[in-house]
Amino acid sequence: MTQSPGVPLRVVSYNIHSQRDDTAALAAVVREARPDVVIVQEGPRRFRWRPKSAALAGSFGLVVAAGGLPALGNLLLTSLRVRVVAEKCQRFPLTPGRHLRGAAYAECVVAGAARFTLAGSHLSTDPAERPAQAALFKRELDAAVTPVIAAADLNEGPDGPAWATVAHGLTDAAVAMDRADRLTYSCAQPRRRIDALFVDPRITVVDYDVVDTPQTRRASDHFPVLVDLLLPAAD
């Protein structure tokens, strides 16, 4: 029996710094990448978050799939090539005196041939909070019935316990392409890889990049992560 070829999918994960920087550059960066899906951290989460999320998606040439205020600024955007069949938002327990954090999830079908679960989160800057948040995020990832694509601003590097929790059993796209030396934060003074994209081992990582250009340095305080994948085709 001939094995079905994989289905290509281009993914961007991007902490957009609450659109505090050059929004025209931000839109241009994403449009030039031509992604099928964008996993956003620090998206709209306050007053008029729905029209703001729609406007952000429109500036990228995409539509809103899931997230926003119910996911505390985590936002999943898709092209019309991707169909969303279910979505879910999650809020992590609040530690008094800290910011609320959460995650967004969407079950998707691309090209009518491949199903996958898209997930995004943004963990706390507090190292005491992150492990429990990572465990809650990971519980949802492990419960997914389709291959997972998960991206997050983990606010720690690959040597951290929260990172290890989320990464367990998944493929780190940067490591798969031998590009774990590509730093994601900050644009002004790159010194850390705290933004990651992980995929189910059934998904093939074709290419990985951290896009460092004059335009991305104007667009946010994080660099975008750009990954090309091949999804397993449905039988």
Residue 2 has pLDDT above 70, yes or no: no
The single-letter DSSP state of residue 5 is: P
Q: Can you name the residues that pair with 119 across neighbouring β-strands? A: 105, 150
pLDDT digits (tens, 9 = 90+) for 6-49: 999 999 999 999 999 999 999 999 999 999 999 999 999 989 99
Q: What is the dihedral of CA 22, 226, 8, 145, to 10 degrees?
A: -100
Residue 70 domain flag: yes
Residue range 150-175, pLDDT digits in tens: 999 999 999 999 999 999 999 999 99
If one counts the domains in the chain, the total is 1
Residue 2 inside a domain? The answer is: no
Tell me the pLDDT of the chain averaged across its residues.
96
* CATH number where 152 lies: 3.60.10.10
Question: Is residue 5 situated within a structural domain?
Answer: no
Of 151, 178, 142, the closest CA to residue 74 belongs to: 151
Residue 91 tokens read as 């809020």
Using the structure block, give the residue that is written with the tokens 């902490």: 15
What residues have CB less than 8 Å from 24, skipping those under 6 apart?
A: none
7, containing H or E segment = strand 7-15
Q: Is residue 138 part of a domain?
A: yes
Residue 200 lies in a domain: yes
pLDDT in tens, 92-147: 998 887 889 999 999 999 988 899 999 999 999 999 999 999 999 999 999 999 99
- Residue that is written with structure tokens 């995409």 in the block: 62
Nearest to 203 by CA among 172, 177, 174, 232: 232
Note whether residue 31 is domain-resident. Answer: yes
Domain membership flag for residue 21: yes
**What is the per-residue DSSP string for 89-145?**
EEEPPPPTTS---EEEEEEEEETTTEEEEEEEEE--S-TTTHHHHHHHHHHHHHH-S
The alpha carbon dihedral of 212, 187, 59, 68 has a sign of positive
Amino acid at 86: A
pLDDT reading at 89 higher than 70 = yes
Q: Per-residue b/e over 141-164, b at no fewer than 16 CB within 10 Å?
A: beebebbbbbbbbbbbbbebebbe
Tell me the pLDDT tens digit for each residue of 196-228: 999 999 999 999 999 999 999 999 999 999 999
3 pLDDT higher than 60:
no
pLDDT band at 4 (very low <50, low <70, confident <90, very high): low
- Note down the domain range covering 218: 10-229
Does residue 5 carry a pLDDT above 80?
Answer: no
| Whether the predicted pLDDT of 71 surpasses 70 | yes
Q: What is the pLDDT of residue 98?
A: 82
The answer, yes or no, to whether residue 1 has pLDDT greater than 50, is no
